[in-house]
Chains A and B, each alone.
Chain A
Amino acid sequence: MNKHYILLIGLFILGALYPILPSAYITVGVTVLLFTGWASSWNLLGGWAGQLSLGHASFVGLGAYFVALGSTQFNLAPWWSVLLAMLFASVLSLLWGKLTFSLRGPYFSLSTIAIAEILRLVAINEGWLTGGATGVFIDTLPQPFGIDFFSKTTQYYLALVYAALTIAITIFIATRKFGFQMRAVRDNEEAAMAAGINPTAIKLKAFAISAALTAVGGGIYGIFLSFIEPHLIFNLLLSIQIALTVIIGGRGTIWGPAVGAVVLVVAGEFFRTTFAQANLLLYGALILIVILTMPKGIVGEYSHRLIRRKYAKNA
């Protein structure tokens, strides 16, 4: 898979140059990168292990709140808050997974919606901790080596590193034992069991990693927004957008999440300026179109055909 790493480095360099463009474009850039990161994280669980989560906003929210509360209430630097958020997210996902993975597929997906809902309600009602429905405002952040976290450019680079990291992790896992075990569980759980794989253990591992990585992006998102409130963060729509990004781009592929993020964010911007409220209609229509015409997603369909052609040529 060396060629993937090379492509990643190339894209990283391109990405590092992006802020040359007028500052109006930076926000879009950050959004695309954050979605790439979240989508790649989601992909580990949803694309590779085949468990569709519709509650990943939970982990985004955890990351954001830990960073926000860490700085305003506990004077913690963001990197410590993020680490704590990662830990909390992993534990939460392990507990939740243990409860729901032994049930049929749809149950798991629906239960992930329930996690996000519960977290949202807790965030709204436990105001003493979370600032309640009015939210939390991050006013100060440390300045290590003189880096200003409030600058959009800094946030952009944080997001860039995050996106690259999640893709690198995906490439790493793709060729290793864990990557194969996940796909086996996804494609045929009984056959996987016969092959000596414990499906629940694999799903739990994928869930924990996915949750922790998503939380990292959540922390960056928190800094980016600098104002966090429950509705915005523990938002069902955000969960759906993350899942959709990967479904359109291609579940279980390495570059699918990135492609999906670009398509979704760019198309979303376009639709928002032309259709205002109806941009969400776009998502629904997109899901249906993708499912009915290219169920494997853009990258998925492409690589499927590529494998077939490669085999036919060499046969």
Chain B
Amino acid sequence: MQKMLSAENITVKYGGLIAVNDVSLSLSEGKILGLIGPNGAGKSTLFNAITGFAPVTSGKVIFYDQDVTHLPPYIRTRQGMGRTFQTERPYQELTVLENVLVAAFLRYSSRQDAEKVALSALEKVGLLDRAHQLSSDLNLARLRRLELAKALALEPKVLFLDEIMAGLNPPSLKEMIELIRGLTTTGISIVMVEHIMEAIIQLADHVIVLASGSKIAEGSALEVINDAQVIDAYLGTD
């Protein structure tokens, strides 16, 4: 099984604060990797470091055998990383379709081709009927799906989901889980940072647990959830 992504001994320091402390992980093709941990554990920082939105103090990020550690985010995207953002970032003056078009233009220069890809991404997430609505008029659940559509239109090899389940009501949560599950059949691999355990249990093949910047457990979802240290970390900070 090819290792498409590996983060080796990543440390991220801000001034004197160590946000991520010597964490390593790797992702195999077609798998879903879950990244969990209590608030402030450093999951988002690690996530940002891998995707290019936070600087790496030491360590390496290898993506398909290329060292991308210090490359800007847009180059990583061109090489096959696609990410969503925790706080939705729609291009508020543009419609839903236009939002996804921006992403589709990455791989397709012609308006017609890009539009086809964009429409297909919208269909996958179930937003096709809202294609011509202003993105600033969408509610939270739909904005989430728009984020996902924008990432999908990039035709990524690895999809990075940043707490995409947060704040969704039970029906929307179920829909989103099904959506994500459906994606893996298309050959995409996924890294997901999550708080919602149900999503992790249902989706993740492999889970890594962070607390206070360090990795404290690793294994299958069930193994990790029953690990005493993990329980301690969560309860300790609640």
Contact = CB atoms under 8 A, between A and B. Distances in A.
A3 interface: no
Contacts of A311: 95, 132-134
18 contacts: A177-B105, A177-B111, A183-B94, A184-B102, A186-B93, A187-B92, A187-B93, A188-B89, A190-B53, A191-B85, A192-B102, A193-B53, A196-B103, A197-B102, A197-B106, A198-B72, A308-B137, A315-B130
B90 interface: yes
Nearest to B92: A187
B139 interface: no
B156 to A, nearest CB: 10
B109 interface: yes
Say whether chain A's binding surface is mostly helix, strand, loop, or mixed.
Answer: helix
B73 A193 contact: yes
A175 interface: yes
Interface of B: 51-53, 72-74, 77-78, 82-83, 85, 89-95, 98, 101-103, 105-106, 109, 111, 114, 129-130, 132-134, 137, 150-151, 154
B135 to A, nearest CB: 9
Contact of B91 (A188, A193, A196, A199): A188
Given A195-B103, A195-B154, A311-B132, A183 B93 contact: yes
A191 B105 contact: no
Given A186-B93, A196-B103, 18 more contacts: A180-B101, A181-B105, A183-B93, A187-B90, A187-B92, A187-B93, A191-B85, A191-B150, A192-B102, A193-B53, A194-B82, A196-B74, A196-B78, A196-B106, A197-B74, A197-B106, A311-B133, A315-B129
> Taking each of B51, B91, B130, which has the highest tally of chain A beta carbons within 10 Å of its own beta carbon?
B91
B131 to A, nearest CB: 9
Contact of B102 (A176, A181, A190, A252): A181
Contacts of A73: none
B193 to A, nearest CB: 15
Contact of A195 (B106, B133, B137): B106
A192 B98 CA distance: 13
Given A180-B98, A195-B154, A197-B74, A314 B132 contact: yes
Contacts of B53: 190, 193-194
B88 to A, nearest CB: 9
A190 B98 contact: no
Given A181-B102, A183-B94, A191 B89 contact: yes
